[in-house]
Structure 1
Amino acid sequence: MEILDDRWDTGGHFTTLLFYAQRGHEPNWFRQHLGVESEALVIKVYEALAVPGLLQLPEYARALIAESGAVNVDERVAERMSRQALLTREPPPLLWALLTENVLDWPVGGPQVMRKQLAYLLEVSELPNVGIRVVPRVAGAHYGMNGSFKVMTGPAGDVAYTESPGGGRLVPSPTEVQRYVMRYDRIGQKALPVDQSRDLIEHVMEAMSEHLRLAKEQS
């Protein structure tokens, strides 16, 4: 951009455009991300606060979307559920999910919905192409505390997608994507193995069940 500005004497026009393009939000990025996701062969997702969209039940998705202030809740829920068809296509992509313990015990939609969601995580984790690991709270500070993201590997190579309030950002640059791959691996170093992750999910489910039992007795 600096070379173009110098060659054409633009007064810094292209350099300014680049500055805002790198910091701005492209409204179509989420749609572009869905297109990359649908063709991905491997999807590595890290979620710090919520169950990944590809693993959400309708009730859980509805609770999240409704609280976001969306007006077209039914449409958004249906769209999110339709994305999950790729997990059972032939051949299905590999989906590796890293979740923090916060994702498990934050009762989105209430304890009953959350317990059902956790049971679904256990169910879907039995698919041969799905792996779910949990970063326990006792792990302390880790590389994932800066926010959720995913790395998708498809025919065109690796692409990352980062989430933020008001929209996300698609990251096609190989150099920058490698940083996300490194972050994912570093987070994984703090995560529990698959079997221990399942044990933790079951433990949280039992706590939810006890909460529901006590609430029923008091009502």
Structure 2
Amino acid sequence: MTHINVLDPGASPLDYYGFELRRYREAAGLTQRQLGDIVNYTGSLVGQIETARKLPTQEFSERIDAALGTGGLLSRLVTLVMRSQLPAWFQQVAELQARATGMYCFEMGMVPGLLQTRAYASAVLGALDATDLDDRTAVRLDRQRIFDRENPPLYWVILFEAALYLELDGPMTMREQLGHLLSFEHNPLVNIQVLPFKSGAHAGMTGSFDIYRFAHDPAIVYTEGYGSAHPTANPDTVNDCSLRYDHLQAAALSLKDSAELIRRVMEERYGDQLA
């Protein structure tokens, strides 16, 4: 007799997802392989997700919902599953990002997670630890779905020019990443400025930081350490960082000139030509 791993649906969002997937599949009278054939995934993958050994994706969830008539249950659950897989210290930050109406990011050394491509994110996350790298990368990319919601936040990013030159995972990955930044060139809700080397001493010399603004709650400043998050609503800190951000915006290149610099670096350093 085949042993069936019975999940405790209260153990975690991932366990709950797997429990519900199995419950709906069995109610439909389908084997894992039969369901996999219907949604164009392997039965093995269905089984791994049912037993909480593999993370589901949004696409997988949508296909299963359609096939089993769940009323969109799994598509709603997958967001909770992904958020629960974030490092514990970062989960509060992800919740803040999901609620924010405006996010203002200054980044000294690399493209921020909300704008990273899969290959770039994988290179960042795998720098010292390749454990479960595919799943960890998928979790990071899932956060970007906040831009797909009905009322997406305003996202303003100031990148220090060094981020364009820090070559992660080779020229192909960098071409793709810089091209991804350029894809937002005409999106009024995602604005990217570059702070050039020639700006000299600037208001962000002490490091990267984010400011999150909300419809009905006080603004929050977020800074990050090694394996730790530091959000604060202290008014003095918020006012100081808001002033710093204003000065950084003034010192940075315009949106148009920033796009031109990104394009030039992509062409000249990473050997790509835009049509």
- Report the alpha carbon displacement of residue 107 of structure 1 after superposing the two structures with TM: 1.0
Cα deviation code 1:177-210 (max 9, x no counterpart): 1111111112112100000000100110011343
- Cα distance between partner residues in 1 of 2:248 and 2:139: 29
Report the Cα offset of residue 35 of structure 1.
0.5
How far apart, CA to CA, are the structure 1 residues paired with 2:129 and 2:97? 25
Written as runs of structure 1 = structure 2, the 5 A alignment for 1:81-96 is: 81-96=141-156
CA distance in 2, matches of 1:75, 1:147: 29
Instruction: Determine which of 202, 208, 215 is the counterpart of 1:142.
Output: 202
Matched, 1:167 2:232: no
Partner of 2:251: 190
Higher share of residues assigned helix:
1
Aligned residues: CA RMSD = 1.8
**Residue aligning to 1:180:** 241
- 5+ unaligned residues in a row in structure 1: which ranges? 1-26, 214-219
Choose 122-131 or 92-101, whichever is displaced more.
122-131
Amino acid at match of 1:198: A
Q: In 2, Cα distance between the equivalents of 1:176 and 1:70?
A: 36
Q: Classify the secondary structure of the residue corresponding to 1:185.
A: helix
- The total of aligned residue pairs comes to 186
Distance of aligned partners of 1:157 and 1:125 in 2 relative to their CA distance in 1, 3 Å threshold: farther
Shift of 1:28: 4.8
Structure number with greater CO (CA < 8 Å, separation at least 6) is 1
Q: CA deviation at 1:41?
A: 0.2
Contact 1:29 1:170 in 2 (8 A): no
Q: Deviations over 1:67-100 (max 9, x none)?
A: 0425232222111111101112111100000001
Partner Cα separation in structure 1 for residue 121 and residue 132 of structure 2:
13
| SS class of match (2:169) | coil
Check conservation: 1:30, 1:169, Cα contact below 8 A.
no
Mapping for residues 52-63 of structure 1, pairs under 5 Å: 52-63=112-123
Q: How far, CA to CA, are the matches of 1:113 and 1:47 in structure 2?
A: 19
Asked whether 1:129 is paired with 2:189, we answer: yes
Higher Rg of the two aligned structures = 2
- CA offset at residue 48 of structure 1? 0.5
Deviation of 1:119 (Å): 0.4
Contact preservation (8 Å) 1:152, 1:158 = yes
| Structure 1 stretches of at least 4 aligned residues deviating more than 3 Å after TM superposition | none
Summarize the Cα distance change of 1:151–1:190 in structure 2 as closer, same or farther, 3 Å threshold.
same
Counterpart contact for 1:53–1:80, Cα < 8 Å: yes
Does the 8 A contact of 1:112 with 1:208 survive in 2? Answer: no
Aligned letter for 1:178? N
TM-score by length of 2: 0.64
Cα distance in 2, alignment partners of residues 205 and 104 from structure 1: 8
Q: Which residue of 1 aligns with 2:40?
A: none
1:35 to 95, 113, 116: 95
Cα drift, residue 175 of structure 1: 2.1
Match of 2:162 in 1: 102
Letter in 2 for 1:126: H
Report the Cα offset of residue 146 of structure 1.
Answer: 1.2
